[in-house]
Amino acid sequence: MSRIVLDGISKSYSGIPAVRDFNLIVDERKFLTLLGPSGCGKTTTLRLIAGLEEPDAGEISIGDRVLYSREKGVFVPPEKRGLGLIFQSYALWPHMTVRKNISLALEQKRLPKAEIRKKVGEVLEKVQLAEYVDRFPSELSGGQQQRVAVARMIAAEPVIFLMDEPLSNLDAMLRVDMRAELKHLHHELEATTVYVTHDQVEALTLSDRIAVMDRGELRQVGTPEEIYKKPEDLFVARFVGSPRINTLEGRLISVNGRTHFQSGQLEVIVDRPPRQGSGKVIATVRPEDISISKEKKDGWPRLCVYSVLPAGSETIIAVQRDDLSLTVKVNGFTDIRMDDNVWIDLSAESINFYNPETEALLTPE
C-alpha cells in the first residue's frame, strides 16, 4: 500500500508559516502534482513527506504506516521511508561518473554486476543519455545532470517518487520530450508520485490530480479537467491556462424570467445561473471559448482588435472597447488584422461566475 495521507500538516520557519493545515491524499499508483507560484510551499511539502523536515503539527502516513505524528510522537527518518527523490537542485556526486552515480544504490542493494550494467544502460536510454555513461557531472550541462538524476531515481525502483521541478533546467524542446518520457514511465511503473512544478502546462499534461497551492494553503485539488474547467476560486482560474483566463466584472439581471449576465455593452443569456440569482459577479471565460467574426453578427457586440499574435498552431487576438478587454484564441492563422472591427460571442456554457468579495465559485442552481 502506498497511499500517501497528509492530515492537518503545518510547518513554520521562524514563526512564518510555509505550509498551513494541509490535508491531502495521494491515492496509490496515482500521479499528483503540487502546483503554485514561487514561495507557496511546494518544496517544503515534499520535504515534509520525505522526512527531511519535521512538521509542527499533524500526521503523515503511507499505506498503514505512520511516518510522522505529533500526537503519537512518531518520526520515521528519511532513509527508512523507502522513497525516491529528485530535488530542485539535482545533487549528483561530483567525483563519480554517471554510471557510478546511478549504480551506487543498486550496489548497496547487492544486485549482480551484469544486472546493474544492464539497468544503467536501460535508464540512460530512457533519458536519452546513453553515450554519456562515463562522464563526470561537471562535464554535463545542467539539463543533462537533471536527466541523470531522473535516471538514478528510476533505477532504484522506489515505491514512491517525489520529484521537485525535475525538468526546470531543460530547454523547451527537451522538456516536452521528457514530459512524455515521465508520463510513459509512470504508466509503466505505476509508482505513486508527488511532483512539484510552478508550470501549469506541466501539471495539466502529467497529472492524475493537481493540488493548487497559494501561500502555504491548498486552494483546490482535482483532475486537470476540473481544475481547468471549474476552478473553485479566481486564484486557480488565473493561475491555470495560457493565455490567461478572461475576467469580466458585471451583474446578473433578470430579463423576461431568464438570467442575463451584463458587463458594459456585453450581454449573454446564462444557461445555468448561480443560486444567488442576481447582483454583482465576476465572470470568467477561457480565450478559446470566445467566437470572433470579421462580419457583423446580430446580438454580438463590436470590438476593435488591439493585437494579433500568430504562433503557428494558434493565434492570440486581443480585442477591446471602452472598459472591455478580452483575449481570444483561434486555431492556426487568421486574416483578422490589428485595428479591424470584429464581433464576438462568449460560449454561455463555459462561463463561470465568482463572488467578487470572496472570489469563490458560485455554484449553479
Q: Which residues of the shown chain bind ligand ATP in the complex (CB under 6 A)? A: 13, 18, 36, 38-44, 88, 198
* Residue 11 vs 286, nearer CB to ligand ATP: 11
Partner whose footprint covers residue 346, from ligand ATP, Mg ion, none (CB < 5 to 8 Å by kind): none
44 is an interface residue for Mg ion by CB under 5 A: no
Minimum separation from the CB atom of position 198 to ligand ATP (A): 5
Nearer to Mg ion, 43 or 192 (CB): 43
- Report the residue number, 18 or 336, with the smaller CB distance to ligand ATP: 18
- Compute the least distance from the CB of residue 38 to ligand ATP, in Å: 3
Q: Which residue lies nearer to ligand ATP by CB, 152 or 198?
A: 198
Looking at the Cβ atoms of 84 and 166, the one nearer to Mg ion is 166
Q: How far is the CB of 242 from ligand ATP (least distance, A)?
A: 17
How many Å apart are CA 138 and CA 131, to the nearest integer?
16
Among 43, 97, 200, 284, binds Mg ion (CB under 5 A): 43
Q: Which is nearer to ligand ATP, 38 or 256 (CB)?
A: 38
Q: Give the whole-angstrom CA distance, residue 63 versus residue 103.
A: 28
Report how far apart, in Å, the C-alpha atoms of 8 and of each of 164, 185, 219, 285 are: 22, 31, 15, 34
- Give me the least distance between CB of 105 and Mg ion, in Å please: 24
CA 151 vs. chain centroid, Å, equals 22
18 binds, among Mg ion, ligand ATP, none (CB under 5 to 8 A by kind): ligand ATP
Contacts of 320 (CB under 8 A, 6+ apart): 303, 304, 306, 326
**347 is in the binding site of which of ligand ATP, Mg ion, none (Cβ under 5 to 8 A by kind)?**
none
43 vs 327, beta carbon nearer ligand ATP: 43
DSSP state of 349: G
The entry of ligand ATP, Mg ion, none near residue 329 (CB within 5 to 8 angstroms by kind) is none
Tell me whether residue 18 or residue 106 sits nearer to ligand ATP (CB atom): 18
On whether the CB atoms of residues 351 and 283 are closer than 8 A, the answer is yes
Where b means 16+ CB within 10 Å and e means fewer, 295-314 reads eeeeebbebebeebeeeeeb
Q: Give the total of residues touching Mg ion (CB under 5 A).
A: 1
Report, in Å, the least distance between residue 163 CB and Mg ion.
11
Out of ligand ATP, Mg ion, none, what residue 163 binds, judged by CB under 5 to 8 A for its kind, is none
Taking CB within 5 to 8 Å according to partner kind, which of Mg ion, ligand ATP, none is near residue 44?
A: ligand ATP
With contacts defined by CB under 5 A, name the span among 43-51, 111-119, 199-207, 317-325 that binds Mg ion.
Answer: 43-51
Crossing angle (nearest 10°) for helices 113-126 and 98-108: 130
Q: Please check whether residue 249 is in contact with residue 51, taking contact to mean a CB–CB distance below 8 angstroms.
A: no
169 binds Mg ion (CB under 5 A): no
DSSP-assigned beta bridge partners for residue 196? 34, 164
Q: Which is nearer to Mg ion, 43 or 193 (CB)?
A: 43
Contact between 39 and 62 under an 8 Å Cβ cutoff? The reply is no
Specify whether the CB–CB gap between 62 and 3 falls below 8 A. Answer: yes
Question: How close are the terminal C-alpha atoms of the chain, in Å?
Answer: 40
For Mg ion, which stretch binds (CB under 5 A), given 36-44, 53-61, 132-140, 340-348? Answer: 36-44
Partner that binds at residue 331, options Mg ion, ligand ATP, none, CB closer than 5 to 8 Å by kind: none
Whether 10 and 44 have beta carbons less than 8 Å apart is answered as no
CA 283 to chain centre: 23
- The owner of cell 512564518 is 16
Pairing of strands 352-354, 279-285: antiparallel
How far apart CA 213 and CA 221 sit, in angstroms, is 9
Binding site for Mg ion (CB under 5 A): 43
